[in-house]
A and B are shown apart, each in its own frame.
Chain A
Amino acid sequence: DVKVTQSSRYLVKRTGEKVFLECVQDMDHENMFWYRQDPGLGLRLIYFSYDVKMKEKGDIPEGYSVSREKKERFSLILESASTNQTSMYLCASSSDWTGNTEAFFGQGTRLTVV
C-alpha cells in the first residue's frame, strides 16, 4: 500500500517557537508538496519540491521554509511560529508529472500555535 506519513497528527506549539513538520513517502516519488487547509479557504499550496534540494514557492510561502535533503523526506519549517499559522497541514507526493498521475496525501497535522 502506498503511503505518505506525517510525523504528528496533532501538535501544540508556543508563539515564537521553531516548528518542524516532517513528511515521508515510500513510493520513490520525485514531487512532494506542503499545503495548509483552513475553513472556507480550501487547500492552499505553501511549497513544493520536484527533486532533492529543489523547491518552488506556492501560493502562500511567507513565514515558511522547506528542506528536502533526501528524496523520501520533505520538511516544512516555521521559523518563528505565530498564531495565524494555526491550521491543518497536509503533505502530498506524486511521481513525475505528465498530467496523467495522481497525488497521494498524508493524514495531516493539526497545528495549534498558542
Chain B
Amino acid sequence: DAKTTQPPSMDCAEGRAANLPCNHSTISGNEYVYWYRQIHSQGPQYIIHGLKNNETNEMASLIITEDRKSSTLILPHATLRDTAVYYCIVREGGANNLFFGTGTRLTVIP
C-alpha cells in the first residue's frame, strides 16, 4: 500500500478555510485517496474520497494534483466543531483494508 505523509498539526481561525495537505508520492493508478477525521473520543468519520478528479460534498472539497502525488482537503469555513485529527489514506480498489497513519491534528481557533 502507498504511504501518506501529513503535517502533525495545524491551526486555523474560525470562519476561515482550512487546507490540509497530504503527500502520497508512491500512489498507483488504481488507488483512491480517502479522508477521515476523528473527533476526540469518537470513532473516525468518513469525509470524502476521490481517484483523479476534484471532489466536493457537503463537508469538504478534495483537490488532487494532476500527477496524483499529493492532495489537499479543504474545509471552506472552519468551525470549532471541526477541531479533530484528519487522516489521509490511499487505498487500492478491491483491497479489503484501510491503513491509517498518524494524521494531522487540526485546531480551529476562535
Contact = CB atoms under 8 A, between A and B. Distances in A.
Contacts of A102: 34, 46, 49
A74 interface: no
Interface string A90-114: 1010000111101111111000000
A37 to B, nearest CB: 8
Interface in B60-110: 87, 91-103
Interface residues of B, number: 26
Contact of B46 (A33, A45, A103): A103
Contacts of B41: 108
B96 A105 contact: no
Given A90-B44, A99-B93, A108-B43, A42 B49 contact: no
**Cβ-closest 3 pairs across A and B:** A99-B93, A105-B43, A43-B100
